[in-house]
Amino acid sequence: MSKILKKYIVPLIAIALIVSGLSACTSPSAEAIPFSIDPDKTLIVYSSHKAEVYTPIIREFEKRTGITVEVHAGGTMQVLNEIKNGAEADLMFGGGIELFQQYSDLIEPYVAKEQNQVESRYSSKEGKYTLFSDLPFVFVFNRKLVNEEDAPKRWNDFLSSKWIGKIAFANPHNSGTSITILLSFMSLLDIGEKNAVNRFSNQLNGELLRSSGDVLPSIETGSSLVGIALEETALKWTQEHDDVGIIYPVDGTVSIPDGSFLIKDCAHRENAEKFIDFTISKDVQRLLVDKMYRRSVRTDVEPSVQTPEINYADFDLGWALRTEGEALSLWDTANQ
């Protein structure tokens, strides 16, 4: 009996165990398909750009460098917070540079290769960020309901009584763009900051849009007559819709550029640097102008023939940053 045990049963048990082990292994998801990407040739980009902006740039970057890029896209604040909370990210692509200030401890300074080709008073000399595109505000109006000669040409034209309740404006509590517009009024109208907010707020007559994305549809449909929008958004809208007209402010406009920055202690630093270099390369900057209705930050890229030379107002970005909170509280006081 014990010999039989030793000879047959113990091996049998062993076989049973092996077989059950084997069948556990053969359950799916074990084997990998022979396709691999060199882990050194990857890059993780967090972007607040829209897909139509980042996709062509990233795909061209992949083709030219052989680096595979993973994109995590979302709203600027959302993406920045994800990075702050320790998301595995190599660089931030997109977002107004005024927002980067609060996240300076996430930033790894880097001066892009062709930084000398970029000329902007907003450039970071220490390489805290690298500019990507220039995004000036323009005035927009409904071409059917407003004659072009009657449309606002200067910032204080919005204070005219004829626009009371007819201005498309998003709630500044929801829209960073709206805060910048408030700051522009405070800075450019020579009537005192508080007065400027109060006067503009009165002009709205309580009509507020949910988000800045609603500004152009509101004017297109005639719900509002005039408004202020980013040039990029307005140009793209007019490509596809007929009823919105664009006016470049005569007394100068405000522009807050967007940019990119390297993230501290990122895993693919070299690739991230290559990407930042690429974002200000002549090819990308030309594409911005040719296909994306944006303005280049490079001196050697001609603006699109469709867009006029722009007249920048004297707008202090540092002041704007410091005053953001105050602008909101002035707004709240005016709307009590």
> Other CB atoms closer than 10 Å to residue 81's CB: what's the count?
13
Residue whose CB is less far from other proteins, 68 or 195: 68
Residue whose CB is less far from other proteins, 189 or 289: 289
CA distance linking residue 31 with residue 102, whole number of Å: 45
Q: Which of residues 27-66 bind other proteins (CB under 8 A)?
A: 27-39, 42, 44, 51-52, 55-56, 59-60, 62-63, 66
Q: How far is the CB of 286 from other proteins (least distance, A)?
A: 6
Tokens of 320: 């704007």
Residue whose CB is less far from other proteins, 23 or 116: 23
What string marks each residue from 238 to 277 as x (binds other proteins by CB under 8 A) or -? Answer: ----------------------------------------
Residue whose CB is less far from other proteins, 15 or 164: 15
The region of 3-11, 93-101, 207-215, 271-279 touching other proteins under the rule CB under 8 A is 3-11
20 touches other proteins (CB under 8 A): yes
Size of the site for other proteins (CB under 8 A): 50
Q: How far is the CB of 259 from other proteins (least distance, A)?
A: 21
Of residues 2, 260, 304, the one with CA closest to residue 128? 260
Helix (H) or strand (E) holding 295: strand 295-296
Helix (H) or strand (E) holding 24: helix 10-25
202 touches other proteins (CB under 8 A): no
Distance, CA of 142 to chain centre: 26
Secondary structure (3-state) at 133: strand
Beta carbons of 110 and 273 less than 8 angstroms apart: yes
The region of 12-20, 118-126, 149-157, 177-185 touching other proteins under the rule CB under 8 A is 12-20
Helix axes 176-188, 193-204, angle to 10 degrees: 120
Of residues 317, 314, 275, 280, the one with CA closest to residue 296? 280
Residue whose CB is less far from other proteins, 44 or 229: 44
3-state secondary structure 231-283: HHHHHHHHHHCCCEEEECCCCCECECCEEEEEECCCCCHHHHHHHHHHHCCHH
7 touches other proteins (CB under 8 A): no
16 touches other proteins (CB under 8 A): yes
Secondary structure (3-state) at 287: helix
Q: How far is the CB of 43 from other proteins (least distance, A)?
A: 9
The region of 7-15, 121-129, 197-205, 292-300 touching other proteins under the rule CB under 8 A is 7-15
Distance, CA of 20 to chain centre: 54
Give 68's strand partners: 42
> What is the DSSP pairing of strand 42-47 with strand 91-96?
parallel
Q: Which of residues 272-331 bind other proteins (CB under 8 A)?
A: 282-283, 286-287, 290-291
What string marks each residue from 68 to 107 as x (binds other proteins by CB under 8 A) or -? Answer: xxx-------------------------------------
Residues of this chain that bind other proteins (CB under 8 A): 1-2, 5-6, 8-10, 12-13, 15-16, 19-20, 22-23, 26-39, 42, 44, 51-52, 55-56, 59-60, 62-63, 66-70, 282-283, 286-287, 290-291
